[in-house]
Amino acid sequence: MTTLHDPASRGFASDNYAGAHPEILTALAEANGGHQIAYGEDIYTERLHEVMGEHFGSGVEVFPVFNGTGANVLSLQAMMPRWGAVVCSDNAHIHTDENGAPERVGGLKLLTVPTPDGKLTPELIDRQAWGWGDEHRAQPLVVSITQTTELGTAYTPQQIRAIAEHIHPLGMRLHLDGSRIANAAATLDQPLRAFTTDAGVDVLSFGGTKNGLLFGEAVVVLRSDAAVGLPYLRKMNMQLASKMRFVSAQLVALLEGDLWIRSARHANAMAARLVSALQQLDGVTVTQPVQANAVFAILDPAVADRLRQRFRFYDWNPATGEVRWMCAFDTTPDDVDAFVAALAGELAAGPTPPTANLQPQPATPSILAQHMP
């Protein structure tokens, strides 16, 4: 097939826009050929259990799935009965970006809490963690946090441990949405288990797609008594891959060596380069600490719309002019510098430059949602 896109083109909309890392594509090719038992009885899925055990501790259970929404819904379903509820941030991906899947597919009740930096605390959790034994209220039985958060901030191991130690005596379990877990490890300079298994997380949604996989995530049960029925729920929710070796082989290639942390460190470094350059510009206000590969800033909407003609990115909050810029494993210093130069030019032109300089907007809307994956 003829290549239909410009491989040199880069945007700052999402790390999902990046292609697959070349080492992942090599792993897929090496896993191909011959026959392997389907539905997870293959040698690559067996190896994945060993590799995950090296990162999170022996005895963990691993369930490869197709995508992050599937991982989250499966995890939460398995962690509580039908009358249970999940306490989460009002910015949480399960609340803002999964199109009702936790509620409609998972049958879950979400109890949200406002979090200005995306992070829950024991005190914030207590706003919703009450009413046990009241048949009129969904029972708060799970807390779900995101690492890194939807606002690009990272929980420290101590912050996660404080949550776990607060909720476990209440009979609640802790789920971690780790769609960008590698970026968190990179910014914290900590091994994965330091802020998961060792900090008291019970079940993890491990993300791979945003860190160079072609497709694939995994549910990782860190404490064996924290989830039940996952083999059946995975099938019921259409997340059981027949040729699972191709999901597992990617995760093995990511985690067996240093590819996972190498790629995450690079993405984080590009975000740091971007925010450093933004600080030299008038007309841009960074709104969140840049602790991983995301940069949030307030920008004049007219400037943002013109800049989007060259570099795609999303509005985060159209009411305030806040936008989000994401860096990926394949973002280059030249990409960042070109973006900053274009932004500086648009800022210099002001909010309403001559219309002769304007180009038609792309057919796809620039504002797809307030929050984006």
Q: Where are the domains of the chain?
A: 21-259, 260-348
| Helix locations, 168-243, DSSP H | 181-188, 230-236
**Cα 36 to chain centroid, rounded:** 30
Q: Please list, in sequence order, all residues whose beta carbon lies within 8 angstroms of the beta carbon of residue 274, skipping any fewer than 6 positions away.
A: 12, 295, 325, 327, 336, 339, 340
Which of 271, 269, 319, 277 shows the shortest CA–CA distance to 296?
271
Residues 137/131, Cβ–Cβ less than 8 Å: yes
List the structure tokens of 149: 């958060």
pLDDT tens track, the chain, 373 positions = 899 999 888 899 999 999 999 999 999 999 999 999 999 999 999 999 999 999 999 999 999 999 999 999 999 999 999 999 999 999 999 999 999 999 999 999 999 999 999 999 999 999 999 999 999 999 999 999 999 999 999 999 999 999 999 999 999 999 999 999 999 999 999 999 999 999 999 999 999 999 999 999 999 999 999 999 999 999 999 999 999 999 999 999 999 999 999 999 999 999 999 999 999 999 999 999 999 999 999 999 999 999 999 999 999 999 999 999 999 999 999 999 999 999 999 999 988 755 544 444 443 334 444 456 7
Name the nearest CA neighbour of 87 among 46, 140, 43.
140
- Dump strand ranges (E) for 133-283: 139-146, 173-178, 203-207, 217-221
Alpha-carbon Rg of the chain, whole angstroms?
Answer: 21
| pTM exceeding 0.85 | yes
- Beta strands, E only, 278-353: 284-286, 294-299, 314-317, 322-326
Rounded-to-integer distance, Cα 282 and Cα 350, Å: 11
Instruction: Measure the CA angle with vertex 94, ends 268 and 244; round to 5°.
Output: 75
Tell me if 185 sits within 8 A of 157, measured CB to CB.
no
Task: Please tell me the distance from the alpha carbon of residue 326 to that of residue 27, in angstroms, as a whole number.
Answer: 26
pLDDT at res. 17:
96
- If one looks up domain 260-348 in CATH, what number appears? 3.90.1150.10
* pLDDT confidence of residue 353: 57
H-helix or E-strand spanning residue 61: strand 61-65
CATH topology for the 21-259 domain = Aspartate Aminotransferase; domain 2 (3.40.640)
Peptide bond into 355 cis (omega under 30): no
Provide the CB-side half-sphere exposure for 78 (13 A, CA).
Answer: 32
Cβ(79)–Cβ(175) below 8 Å: yes
- Confidence at residue 146, expressed as pLDDT on a 0 to 100 scale: 98
